[in-house]
Amino acid sequence: MNESKSLIQVPSVVVVITILLVVLSTRPGQAVATRLVQIINTAANPVPTLDNSRNPANIVTLLAHVPAGGAGTFALQGADGSTTTFTRVPSGKALVLESGHFLVEHGAPAVNVQFGILQTDGSVSSLGVWVLTGFTTVLSWPPGIVIGSGQTPSIGAFGDDVVIWFRGYLVAQ
């Protein structure tokens, strides 16, 4: 009886090993994979592309130092820390702001910060936030605040000096 079990087990092991070697060998494995995966790119199923908004060249940091009771302008901060004046969203682009960091270092216990967008027709859209002194208040806007081509962001603070960083990215409009 033990002999018959051995006679059955040996061929079974040999068959299993042979199957594994065939499947794992390069050419038959490629043939199996080729038959299983077929990619057809059509207009409805286009080639995947990189999310260009995450391209370092498109990432934007706007920096503003707003004096108490006054308005501030934004500077565009480069990756090296250098800044240039930012007056409006470039032509053909849209600016998507994802987060804002607000810092009041001293003075009033809370400061009302008003962020506005000067529209191309001269109207202003605004958003306000109260910031506590001694803390960095971080706000994020998951879908982003979109500022169109040619529009100008502005900032005002009522109560004390505020340092503000907005982070986002530029995309083609």
Name the more confident of 89 and 122.
89
The domain made up of 52-172 has a fold known as Jelly Rolls (2.60.120)
pTM for this prediction: 0.61
Query: Residue 50 is encoded by which pair of tokens?
Result: 């990189």
The answer to whether the beta carbons of residues 54 and 167 sit under 8 Å apart is: no
pLDDT of residue 172: 85
Alpha-carbon separation of residue 49 from 57, 87, 143, 156 (angstroms): 17, 31, 20, 39
